[in-house]
A = this chain, B = another copy of it.
Amino acid sequence: MAHRILVVDDDHELRETISEILVDAGFLVANASSGEEALNILAGQTFDLVLLDMIMPGLGGQEILPLLKRQAPRTRIIMITAFATVENAVAAMRKGADDYLTKPFKVDELLTTVRRSLEEARLLDRGLQVEKDSTFSCLANSIRRDILKLIGREQRLRFMDIARHLDIEDHTKMNFHLKMLRSADLVSQDEHKNYVLTSQGARILACLSQIAKDNSPQ
């Protein structure tokens, strides 16, 4: 699915140039000629990335940036500045921009900056997802669900007690599953090495029993 990009610039000609380059590169592009218009458009739909001119009549990039970040925190923002100065760059980044371009820029420069920024976003998203993935893949295994239920019932249990309760002879197998549960932050160990549920683990367990309950009347 093509990425959606919003170009915000009061300079009509530059805006059109940028749009054309991006459209040719296969992106879905929308234009805004002022900060106010940009905010309106962003209220109605989401974009993956916004190219934002720092200096515009009315609301400039500097002013919109924090508003924009609050409204759509996951949208990437690339500032466009007239001059490459350290102050400009620092100011932009500090306000929440993810990258910046200095005018004038070449076609390649624009595209690589945009693509790199989108790629970073993707990696970041995936990073956030890792947590959820590990949660669900933990639940995929019935041994781990049993461990979770057991700890939920008994509150706190030693390693070998879990093994005995669940009739698991090979303790390294247990260890494997416990490690997964720990890394998914569903269980943890207290100061005496007892295994206990984390708050996340308790929530999941509630959810789990809810699903099981729904299921049982066939």
Show 21 residue pairs from A and B whose CB-CB distance is below 8 angstroms, ordered by the A residue: A1-B164, A1-B165, A1-B166, A129-B142, A131-B215, A132-B212, A132-B215, A135-B211, A135-B215, A136-B136, A136-B140, A136-B141, A137-B140, A139-B139, A139-B140, A140-B140, A200-B214, A203-B211, A203-B214, A204-B211, A207-B210
Give Cα A204 to B136, complex, Å.
12
> Hey, which chain B residues are within 8 Å of A214, CB to CB?
200, 203
Give Cα A71 to B94, complex, Å.
67
**Distance between A140 CB and nearest chain B CB, rounded to angstroms:** 4
When the two chains form their complex, are residues B145 and A136 in contact, meaning their CB atoms are under 8 A apart?
A: yes
- Kindly state whether residue A133 has any CB partner on chain B within 8 Å: yes
**Distance between A92 CB and nearest chain B CB, rounded to angstroms:** 26
- Kindly state whether residue A167 has any CB partner on chain B within 8 Å: yes
Give residues in A with beta carbon < 8 Å to B: 1, 129, 131-133, 135-137, 139-142, 145, 164-167, 200, 203-204, 207, 210-212, 214-215
**Distance between A135 CB and nearest chain B CB, rounded to angstroms:** 7
**Distance between A137 CB and nearest chain B CB, rounded to angstroms:** 4
Residue of B at shortest CB range from A218? B131
If A131-B215, A132-B211, A135-B215 are given as contacts, then 16 extra A-B residue pairs at C-beta distance below 8 Å, sorted by A number, are A1-B164, A1-B165, A135-B211, A136-B136, A136-B139, A136-B140, A136-B142, A136-B145, A139-B139, A139-B140, A140-B140, A200-B214, A200-B215, A207-B207, A207-B210, A207-B211
Give Cα A145 to B140, complex, Å.
13
> Hey, which chain B residues are within 8 Å of A142, CB to CB?
129, 132-133, 136
Enumerate the 6 nearest inter-chain pairs by beta-carbon distance, A residue then B residue, closest first. Answer: A140-B140, A1-B167, A137-B140, A136-B139, A136-B140, A207-B207
Residue of B at shortest CB range from A204? B211
**Distance between A151 CB and nearest chain B CB, rounded to angstroms:** 16
